[in-house]
Amino acid sequence: MASTNQQRRYTKSYKYQPQLPPPLEEKPGFLRQLLTWLWEELVKIRISISRVHDWEVLTEEPDTPLDAQVRFFEGSPGFDPGKGRGLYYYDESSTPDPQWIFLGGTPTDGGSTPSMSVSSHGDLAGLGDDDHTQYLNIARGDARYYTETEVDTLLASKQDAKMSFTASVTLAAGDLCCLNSSGEMNLADADSSATSKSLLAIATEAITATNSGTFLVQGVYTTSGLTAGDIMYVSTTAGDWTNTAPTGSGDIVRVIGYALSATQIYFDPDKTWIEV
């Protein structure tokens, strides 16, 4: 026989006892309707509050469980919804009959606050891995999460704009080039508008004449001998740049970018130019 303490412990929760409205028969018609309406609204509020905040351990099934209601049950020798002591939610749409669905977990301190022991959604009763709509699955062809390494790699590939061109002369990596009228890359030279006013690019590799290669058309280029903050111009030395604007008669003054440090230039050629 259960002890007095056990009997008290397994008493049905007071929150689920039926609550009837106070007697209203003696009230005037209008007042009776108003009080009845107020009582119904208060009951709705009470149900909403208990649905959200009622987390005490229950030893018996609630008289009228609500759909999606989450409760922690004591389990045998109290009410056992099917899998013993643990956390459950009530599913009205379950077939063939509404039922309590086990979520798992046991209190770690013997108290009334549940501590979840399930660490994988695949361990939840009736659910398999990757069958949730919030999971993003490559096999289904939808979007996915990326790791930090993958994101860094993708961003790095987007930082610089590069294009492939044919070299009209043999070029070395780091040569400043200008697109000529044949659509090929030649050495840029501020002594002439023909070699400095068109599309500018930096050869990222050694390329022999008539062969194609990769050119940086915008982005960060690593070199040496710079002074941070300097404005860089097309140089009168073919294939080079300088931090001093050309001053000779007929020279072309065109900004190609800015020195970020002693070793990096942000290459972003101006679309305009001036002839001295």
Q: Where are the domains of the chain?
A: 54-136, 161-275
Backbone angles phi, psi at 168, to 5 degrees: -85, -20
Q: What is the average pLDDT value for the chain, to the nearest integer? A: 76
- Does this model's pTM top 0.75? My answer is no
Percent of the chain scoring above 90 in pLDDT = 41
Strands 241-242 and 212-222: unpaired
pLDDT over 70 at 46, yes or no: no
Characterise 105 by phi-psi region: left (phi > 0), alpha (psi -120 to 50), beta (else).
left
Structure tokens of 118?
Answer: 């399930």
Lowest mean pLDDT among 83-97, 118-132, 152-166, 261-275: 118-132
Q: Which residue, 139, 234, 160, is CA-closest to 196?
A: 234
| pLDDT value of position 238 | 97
* 46: DSSP letter: H
Backbone angles phi, psi at 14, to 5 degrees: -65, -20
Most confident of 70-74, 90-94, 169-173: 169-173
Rounded Cα–Cα distance for residues 244 and 236 (Å): 10
| pLDDT value of position 52 | 47
Q: pLDDT of 150-185, one tens digit each?
A: 766 666 666 678 999 999 999 999 999 999 999 999
More confident residue, 252 or 16: 252
More confident residue, 144 or 247: 247
* 20: DSSP letter: P
| pLDDT value of position 139 | 58
DSSP string, 108-147: SSSSSS-------GGGSTT--TT-STTS--GGGT------
Radius of gyration from C-alpha coordinates of the chain: 39
